[in-house]
Structure 1
Amino acid sequence: MKKIYYLKTCDKCRKILKEMDTSAYILQEIKTEPITVKQLDELYSYTKSYEVLFSKMAKKYKQMDLKNQKLHENDFRQLILDEYTFLKRPIIINETEVLIGNSKKIIPISK
């Protein structure tokens, strides 16, 4: 499967999508089509960590003062399911590997 989870209002997502050929991918805009439990658990099967999928750059992370709380894997999972902005993006699935986020140090995670 080839799939991209992205946010259309995210400048870096738009730039990345513009630079690549997405014709072979299923695109899922996470604000209008939130990630499901099944989809999130599938991503977890690649990463073995919900924290890796969690964006600490989200405005709500600071608003909710989450940096001063001790969060566990189940907390990260639930926060991502409750609020789309907590999902790190974009997430690009290429058959057997996943690319998560938009930093220059993206490391592919193979299944």
Structure 2
Amino acid sequence: MKKVYYLKTCSTCIRILKELNLPSDFILQDIKKEEITADQLEQMKDLAGSYEALFSKRATLYKKMDLKNQDLSEKDYKHYILEYYTFLSRPVFIIDDAIFIGNSKANVEAVKQVLNA
């Protein structure tokens, strides 16, 4: 499977998608329009190793809800990602059995390498 979970209103996501010029066989899912299902999140967690790896601690809501001062469990991370799409660290690329989470330069370069392999 080749899929990207992203936010259409996120300029960083859009910039990365344009930069990568993805092949047409990629499925793009705007997580604001089409919510992440529990099954999709479970699949991402299986590839990433944890819900925490998928969780964005840079989200405005993270600070607003004062979550940094709470001891969050894997169950909490799962709950918050399913409840508020903004907590998914994005974009998330799934290419076959590999997952690439977030918008760091290293992550984008890793996606490029897989695409050009």
TM-score range for the pair, normalised by the shorter chain length: over 0.9
> Separation in 1 of the partners of 2:11 and 2:48?
25
Higher helix share: 2
- Per-residue CA distance 1:7-63 (angstroms, 9 max, x = gap): 011111001111123312000000000100000000011012000000011110000
Structure 1 match to 2:5: 5
Q: How far apart are 1:95 and its partner, in Å?
A: 0.9
* 1:17-32 superposed matches below 5 A: 17-22=17-22, 23-32=24-33
SS in 2 for 1:93: strand
Structure 1 range deviating more: 39-48 or 19-28: 19-28
Q: How far apart are 1:76 and its partner, in Å?
A: 0.2
> Separation in 2 of the partners of 1:24 and 1:6?
16
Q: Give aligned pairs, total.
A: 108
Amino acid at match of 2:42: D
Identity %: 54
Structure 2 match to 1:93: 94
Superposed CA RMSD: 1.3
> Separation in 1 of the partners of 2:28 and 2:105?
22
SS in 1 for 2:8: coil
> Separation in 2 of the partners of 1:50 and 1:106?
18
Question: Does the alignment pair 1:78 with 2:83?
Answer: no
Deviant stretches of 4+, over 2 Å: 104-108
Q: Which runs of 5+ in 2 are unaligned?
A: 111-117
Structure 2 match to 1:59: 60
**TM norm structure 2:** 0.88
Amino acid at match of 2:36: I
Q: How far apart are 1:106 and its partner, in Å?
A: 2.6
> Separation in 1 of the partners of 2:106 and 2:26?
23
